[in-house]
Amino acid sequence: EDDPKNTYIYKELLESEGLDLMCLENLLENVSDYYGIIIQNEVDFLIIDYHLDKQVKYKGIDVLKAVREYDDTIYSILLTNYDLEDFKAEFGEYDYEISKKEFSIQYKNIAEKIKRACELREDNKLVSLMESKKNKDDQMISLLEEINSKLKKDQG
């Protein structure tokens, strides 16, 4: 969001629903730099204004596209007062578009969607971690079986 007044409103509304928001006061020069901030701050959801022309030359959809190159599971809300039908095909399953006016009216529903998306993301991280551990365990078992087989050959 390139308007601090709007950022304050969104922050107050969502924090009243138990969500913690980190807001950028100044937008970044390069859209690809946003993902570094997301990783560094362990961000689970994004609220992006489509029109950012008060501070930068790119659009919010460009930020979303750059983030999607690295991660397609972060829930994102693209705010706009314009029709975004042309971009619907570029949205992922975790992307949501709403007008700024509707956001202020539906913030409780939006907060619930964000919470569910964050829980799903956390569950997916846990599943991924468990699968990674299982793969390492399977590799270790294979290695031990190979060593055991060689020892039996050497003894026989």
What's the mean pLDDT when you consider all of the chain?
82
Q: What percent of the chain has pLDDT over 90?
A: 13
pLDDT band at 128 (very low <50, low <70, confident <90, very high): low
Inter-residue contact 10 to 1 (CB < 8 Å): yes
133 vs 1 pLDDT, higher one: 1
65, with CB counted inside 10 A (0-12, 13-18, 19+), is middle
pLDDT at 36: 92
**The predicted structure's pLDDT at residue 108:** 93
Whole-number Å distance between alpha carbons of 129 and 143: 21
Contact 2, 49 (CB under 8 A): yes
pLDDT digits (tens, 9 = 90+) for 48-96: 888 888 889 998 889 988 998 888 888 888 888 776 665 555 566 657 7
State percent of the chain over pLDDT 70: 84
pTM summary value: 0.66
Ranges 16-25, 34-43, 83-92, 126-135: which has the least confidence? 83-92
Widest pairwise Cα distance in the chain = 80
